[in-house]
């Protein structure tokens, strides 16, 4: 489960930010996790709770925002929503797609004290 190592990296970022921005507690973390990122949100929730125990983020609320994935189709020159990395273009059926959004994994927002 690579979500545990992702949570450890997120905690490292929180600790670095706490040192540079002078806060001691994280109350809320808002993550953006794209459907094409390869990250399972529920596993991330579990890992976050485990990894943050006893840290500055212990008990922090974790909100996960899952944006829609989109891709540009070179065949019909459109951008459309897709569900899976290998979906055909919903407009023309072509597979000449370039992923535009949906691979994100980032911290969008923090509430700290």
Q: Give pLDDT tens digits for 28-67.
A: 999 999 999 999 999 999 999 999 999 999 999 999 999 9
Instruction: Say if residue 98's pLDDT is above 90.
Output: yes
Is there a contact between 72 and 61 (Cβ–Cβ < 8 Å)? no
> Structure tokens of 13?
């970022």
Instruction: Say if residue 1's pLDDT is above 60.
Output: no
- DSSP code at position 83: S
Q: Give pLDDT tens digits for 6-23.
A: 999 999 999 999 999 999
Question: What structural domains does the chain harbor?
Answer: 1-112 (3.30.2320.80)
Nearest to 35 by CA among 60, 67, 9: 67
Annotated binding site: 2, 73, 76, 89, 92
Annotated binding site for Zn(2+): 73, 76, 89, 92
What per-residue confidence (pLDDT) applies to 2? 86
Q: What is the mean pLDDT of the chain?
A: 95
Nearest to 29 by CA among 1, 47, 42, 48: 48
Compute the average pLDDT of residues 86-107.
95
What per-residue confidence (pLDDT) applies to 19? 96
> Structure tokens of 95?
């597979």
Annotated binding site for Ni(2+): 2
Q: Give pLDDT tens digits for 19-35.
A: 999 999 999 999 999 99
């Amino acid at each position: 489960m690579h979500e545990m190592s992702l949570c450890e990296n997120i905690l490292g970022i929180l600790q670095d930010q706490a040192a540079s921005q002078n806060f001691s507690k994280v109350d809320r973390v808002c993550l953006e996790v794209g459907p094409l990122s390869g990250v399972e949100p529920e596993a991330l929730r579990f890992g976050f709770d485990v990894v943050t125990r006893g840290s500055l983020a212990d008990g922090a609320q974790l909100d996960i925002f899952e944006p829609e994935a989109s891709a540009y189709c070179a065949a019909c020159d459109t951008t459309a929503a897709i569900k899976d990395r290998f979906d055909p273009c919903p407009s023309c059926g072509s597979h000449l797609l370039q992923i535009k959004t949906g691979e994100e994994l980032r911290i969008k927002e923090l509430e700290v004290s």
